[in-house]
Amino acid sequence: MDVQIEQSWKDVLQPEFDKPYFAHIVQFLKVEKQAGKVIFPPGPYIFNAFNTTPFDKVKVVILGQDPYHNPHQAHGLCFSVQDGIAPPPSLVNIFKEMEADLGITRPNHGNLQKWAEQGILLLNASLTVEMNKPMSHSKIGWHDFTNSVIQTLSDKREKLVFILWGGFAKSKLNLIDTSKHCVLTAAHPSPLSAHNGFFGCKHFSKTNEWLQQNNISPIDWSL
């Protein structure tokens, strides 16, 4: 099955693309589109996280759950929105924590492409969603795929930073070898939970401390 994904990812994930569940994902999306359903992100952006951050360039993994389900928001990078779209509440809180942690002025946009280009894999557990229907594609097989992505990174790479915000992201901890990777956990940045431990987590500075301790160039978090 030919999936339009960056070559280094295609090489390590080919076994997944050949499995029946992945054929089911492809068929499901095809049928939905033929039925006139609007799917986000648009087709060319479904694998944007992978195409922007090649496998061998990943330094940090930030895990999200579901793409944004309103028009013009999702573009295949978790928590990120396209240019011209106001940052959603969770992203506003991420920027607040970044500012408190590093003194970086909050940007006036919500496009995290610059982070992805520096080696931050902005991975949603589901890579698609139907318009106005949150979590609508969470059971079609994407979690099998993204669990494999996390496991493959853990197994085949060294000294990565995995950032897990919220209960769902923390549930992926068992896929990560904590003896060779750094795992940072906190509450979700959503307004419902950010005050329960997201604010003050200092994950931005902690990420750079780990990278520098392991002779890996730090992230420029400014946008």
Q: What is the pLDDT of residues 10-33, one digit of tens each?
A: 999 999 999 999 999 999 999 999
Mean pLDDT of the residues in the chain: 97
pLDDT at 2: 57
pLDDT at 141: 98
Q: Is 56 an active-site residue?
A: no
Arithmetic mean of pLDDT, 142-170: 98
pLDDT at 4: 85
Which one from 2, 66, 101, 155 is the annotated catalytic residue? Answer: 66
- HSE at residue 19, side-chain half, CA atoms within 13 A, is 12
- Cα first-last separation, the chain: 36
Judge if pTM exceeds 0.95.
yes
Number of H helices, E strands in the chain: 8, 6
